[in-house]
Chains A and B, each alone.
Chain A
Amino acid sequence: MRRLFFGLCTLSILAIAEAKESRPLDINPLNFSNRADCARDSQKPTRSVFFIADTLDVGKALLRAGDMLSRQDTFTTEGIKRYRFTLQSLSRLVAEKLLRGQLPLLNSKLPQYRDLMETCKDGCEEMDQLVSAAWAGKLQGERLNFPDSHLSCHEVKDFAALYPHLSQSKPTQETLKALGESMAVGSENLVECGIDNQGDLSVSFFQFDLRHLDEKQWNKVGFDFWSSFNIYYSWAFHFSQEARQMALNYHGLFRQVNLEELSFFFSNGCHSIARPECSKDFLNTNSLRELSRVSQDADLAKLQVFKPGPDHEHDDILRQDDGLGREDLGMDAHESATAWAKNFKDNMAKTRGFIRLKLSQSLTQLKFIRRGLEDRLLSDITAELEGLKGADKAKRAEAFTFCAELTSATDREISFIRPKLAAMTQYESIWNYSQSIHSEIEADLEWSLTQFAPQLLTLCEKLRDDKVWGEEDHPGPEAFSAWYQSFHFKKVLEATPREATASYLVLKDGQSGKVETFCMTALDCGKKIISNLIDLKISSDYASSLLSLDGQIKNISATTSMGERYACKMYDPWAQSKKAGFEFLKDMVLAGVSAATIVPIYVDVSLADKKVSSLQEIIKDGKVYYNPRFDRRAVQKTLIIDFGPLLGAPCAIVVSADARVRPQNYLAFEGITLQSCRDFERITVQAESPEQIGNAVRKLSGCFTCTISLASTATSAAMLNPVMRPFFYVIRGVVKLVGNLRSPEDIPRSWTVNPNAVARALKINGGEIPKSCVRKLSRGEECIRGTCASNIATSIGKYLKVIPDEISIVSGGLSLVTAGERTFSVETPRYNCAGHSFRIEDFKQVQP
């Protein structure tokens, strides 16, 4: 109704005087949400994203192009400005074409697209042709219909206090005041995009807001919008006429920019860019959030991706505690938003570079070893292993580490060895990528996985069974390869350079002719093969998630990890609500039962928190997904025999599957307790496959308890009284329900704050946000005294793009609005302000 009211409002400017005023920002309201609501919101598409683009490489290319053409110094800076302008303008163009139905959505409802998704996951010429046809209007398909919407673009210069929703669950008076103050200088922190409006040129950091969307409709199509936007944007950047026109004389160079690898989207809040899924790609990509808060190389090196050894990446999510689900994005650690974005993109570039290097090195080394040693390595290692009995201590230790590493590397999750070649080829994108670096990768892996590893593994197992090694042969951690140390000892000892005492395989530098020992012995070469297979697996896993091998811009779907936790069933936003309802229902049932029977035996059933105990890896359509496995104890059953009513003694026996259970939980009130409990644990080892060994612990507890207190007397009294007994349960049920529903983080709650309304409220109220305004502003409403003035203020902001300092009603259909030194005389025919109890004195407090 309110929206309709504003929509009907027509304002005509009668007079405008020269002046300077603060303008409202064309940005979306901020969504504050607690942990549960954040998890719930992660299932909805975002309307606001950050776009970060690395412009450094473009600058370098421009510098070289300028050098070739002997252009002036400004060629490069003007070029970067034009590049950023092209990115901004193209974003707006693509988004608005999609929102207004000028382009079809590229989703599963489009048969041509659906077919291509099966045959060219990593992109293909046919996909480019399809997008080209869609761009030219030659393709039918589902179209959006948001005629009034648009994409607003701002360059983020300083976070100031404009993003409190990223770190807080709920808006407070202080938050709102800081937000309002930041808005007062909003144009300095968030600069409207444009060719002349540019600051630091080394990185582009934009905020894109999709404005005026119908929320219900948007939630149905938003994810399709973003995936389509990504594809169209990428295509249009390289091939469209529009991009050519935007880039002017720079187009020949810009279209060669690897935009997909040099930029990424980052959702502004809990809503997601892509529908969260419990997959390796999704988890890995989103874990890049960590890069935002790391600013030192030493800290960066501590991240899992840089560790030499494998890890079960999903362990990170399994280990996550029940924090507020709000990651620190490290915004406060940087002097400006640009500095933050620069740090983030630098970290991203380092991470991607590291993965690329690791992948390329492992492929090169595998090839080098196979080429040089294919005909003799197996027999040489076999000879070394079979001759161990008479060998010296060093050789025995070397053989021990070789066999230990080979055995460990057969773990399915950390290498390709166990599932052999098939698993590697299932990573389609990385397989194609690897083949582009080395066409013979298949032969290298075939040899490593079907000959080298299985034959030597069998021999190692035989040696172990024969007890060839004794305790004295076990070397220290330093004797193992770095990946093994990292994986098993959780730290990597600094490698001391070994002097080459022998040369089994040498590496000759093509340029300098210098010869280096690559491996000293056959076993040394064998360990290098294992290390390279492990490196290949680790870098493949990360490469498929972090490099844009599919030709699309990567996105960090949300600013919090709640989406992943929800998708992997680590967190259920409805759990607390369900629990509250269940507890209440249970008390109501108990009330009913207690009214019907005098026998004080109760069977209590309560919901225990479901906990994911492991994530099972499943490869489907070339992607790795995780299937969560739960701790099976979902329901706890408790039997209580309360002797109070029968014997007059406030004692009870409780038998429960949960050792933590306390009898008082089931009685009405607590008192001083004498209690004896005993736990019995039955542990069974469940093993379905070697890598899924877990201990299932079943607990049983028994308690004998006597509670002596006024409350227990009351309880007993209550229990003896068939009228009072149900009454107590009802009271307790209501009290518990209220308590459970008050949970600040686990019952979904959200607040919407319109930053422009906050700015207006701050101005109108003399630089303060009154306490009385907090609730209104947190509902996204205005907080200006008088409905009429409030409506006028909103409309003024919307239509005239100014934040008014003062609004004066001159007559029924005419108002004077002061903003800075400008005075607007506005006609407001739809507002019959004279009919409202609006008083001009309401605004007097803003006068100095």
Chain B
Amino acid sequence: MKALFLLLVALPFASFAWESKVELSEGLEMRLKISCESEETFCTSLCQQSLSCLIEAGSCKNCIGANSFISHFYREVGRLFQSTDRVLSEEDAVTLFSSGSKFVYLEAQGPFNIYSGVGNIRTERHFESLCRGQFFSRPIVLAKLDRRSRVERAGHVICHGDFGAEIFELSHAGD
């Protein structure tokens, strides 16, 4: 019975099972590694038939230091910035990454968090509050850059779970 329940819960996600991780290159270039365990259409569409690929972060002119948006985000994540129930479909997720938009990746312990100490549990929790249901851990916020390489808004969060990852839309309180 229990096994059947797990199978039923897992099935909807099995067709879209992938995961991601933020990495830094030797030259400290940030990138998002997307990988699939088997030939998922998400990976094959996004990674040109490969099982994994790296999506380079955009060049952000104001991500480290006194940035208005990023400091506002790290201060208000989980409070004013919250995730919504809206989950991106596989097709939308591919479009998001291949649309030409540039993103930077915000994590609780990422290099852009200069607002709390390394290993700060509180920030971790605030970030994790962006994730929902089965997808409860390792949130990676996608912050979009404008044409001048400045952070424009945080629109999505990738959350991971036991069955892969999902992309949720983010909202700012009141929006």
- Chain A interface residues (CB < 8 Å from chain B): 54, 57-58, 60-65, 67-69, 123-125, 128, 238-239, 249-253, 255-262, 349, 352-353, 356, 360, 364, 367-368, 371, 433, 436-440, 509-511, 547, 551
Contact = CB atoms under 8 A, between A and B. Distances in A.
Interface residues of B, number: 45
16 contacts: A57-B64, A58-B65, A60-B114, A61-B111, A62-B111, A64-B114, A65-B24, A67-B118, A68-B22, A69-B24, A251-B28, A258-B64, A258-B65, A352-B66, A360-B72, A551-B61
Contacts, number: 132
Nearest to B29: A252
A64 B118 contact: yes
Contact of B69 (A54, A123, A124, A436): A436
B172 to A, nearest CB: 7
B99 interface: no
A213 to B, nearest CB: 31
Contacts of B29: 252
Contacts of B27: 249-252
B165 interface: no
Nearest to B59: A255
Given A256-B64, A511-B78, 7 more contacts: A68-B111, A125-B147, A125-B148, A252-B29, A256-B112, A257-B65, A260-B62
A258 B62 contact: yes
B25 interface: yes
A349 B113 CA distance: 16
B91 interface: no
Nearest to B79: A510
A509 B80 CA distance: 9
A349 B66 contact: yes
A510 B173 contact: yes
Given A252-B24, A260-B62, A356-B68, A124 B147 contact: yes
Contact of A124 (B80, B148, B153): B148
A257 B110 CA distance: 14
Contacts of A356: 66, 68, 71-72
A125 B25 CA distance: 27
Given A438-B174, A440-B175, A54 B65 contact: yes
B174 A364 contact: yes
Contact of A238 (B22, B30, B61): B61
Q: 7 shortest A-B CB distances, which residue pairs?
A: A258-B65, A252-B28, A252-B29, A60-B114, A258-B62, A253-B28, A125-B147
Given A61-B114, A368-B174, A511-B79, A353 B65 contact: no
A64 B111 CA distance: 5
B59 A239 contact: yes
Contacts of A239: 59
B85 interface: no
B72 A258 contact: no
Contacts of B80: 364, 510
B132 interface: no
Interface in B140-156: 147-150, 152-153
A547 B66 CA distance: 9
Nearest to A235: B61
Contacts of A256: 59-64, 104, 112
B15 interface: no
